Amino acid sequence: MAEDKESAEAIVSEVHKKIRAAFDVFDHEFNKTVDVREIGTIIRSLGCFPNEGELHDVIAERLTVNRAYVHEHREDNNGTYLTKQIEEEEPTGYIRFEKFLPTMTKVLMERKFRPIPEDLMLQAFEVLDKQKKGHLELEELTKYMTQEGEPFTQEEMEEMLSAAMDPDKNLIFYKDFVSMMTVDDPR
């Protein structure tokens, strides 16, 4: 019994250290806070595969965000200073490590947002490849990625194309693409 408890504690301790390490990479000023916009990257780099909606839920519901303001400075005609506070619309602010650690620990221990196996990925592409050609056209993939599901931004689309597309033929040979991406996975 005692042994089990010890090993459970050891596991949690290891998990904590992993989370801390990933957090630290984005803690630029070494003050135990990261910009909320990097939380998605941190969570994903720890091996989780949330979609955008799930990510948003984690941030909005479980992590308190410190609001930040943008100051707009203007001089009026008398040369006096005006300062206006505008609340930013997209989530801004910083997440403290104390808040992040318990949330992330739970995510990892509960094995939420499991990874996607390679064969499932292949199937997904095959679904999109309606004519069963073995490849996708540039326009086809772009249409699906930017109009369906949780659409890509233009930047994301361009980046995926640069990695996935054969530039001479403008075709995406998805089988190769999936294999290549899976190989890249460092443990």
Chain positions contacting other proteins, by CB under 8 A: 14, 17-18, 20-22, 24-26, 28-31, 40-45, 48-52, 69-71, 73, 115-116, 120-121, 123-125, 127-128, 144-145, 148-152, 156, 159-160, 162-163, 181, 184-187
Q: Least separation, in Å, of the C-beta of 141 and other proteins?
A: 9
**Which H or E run contains 103?**
helix 97-109
Q: 34 burial class (0-12, 13-18, 19+ CB within 10 angstroms)?
A: buried
Would you say 90 and 8 are in contact if contact means Cβ atoms under 8 Å apart? no
Comparison of 1 and 29: residue with beta carbon closer to other proteins: 29
Strand partners, 73: 83
Tokens for 173, please give them: 């040979």
Comparison of 156 and 176: residue with beta carbon closer to other proteins: 156
Residue 31 to residue 103: CA distance in whole angstroms: 19
Q: Least separation, in Å, of the C-beta of 62 and other proteins?
A: 19
Comparison of 60 and 181: residue with beta carbon closer to other proteins: 181
Q: Least separation, in Å, of the C-beta of 89 and other proteins?
A: 16
Comparison of 1 and 53: residue with beta carbon closer to other proteins: 53
Other CB atoms within 10 Å distance of the CB of residue 32:
16
Comparison of 17 and 106: residue with beta carbon closer to other proteins: 17
Nearest to residue 50, comparing CAs of 116, 2, 103, 132? 116
Q: Least separation, in Å, of the C-beta of 53 and other proteins?
A: 9
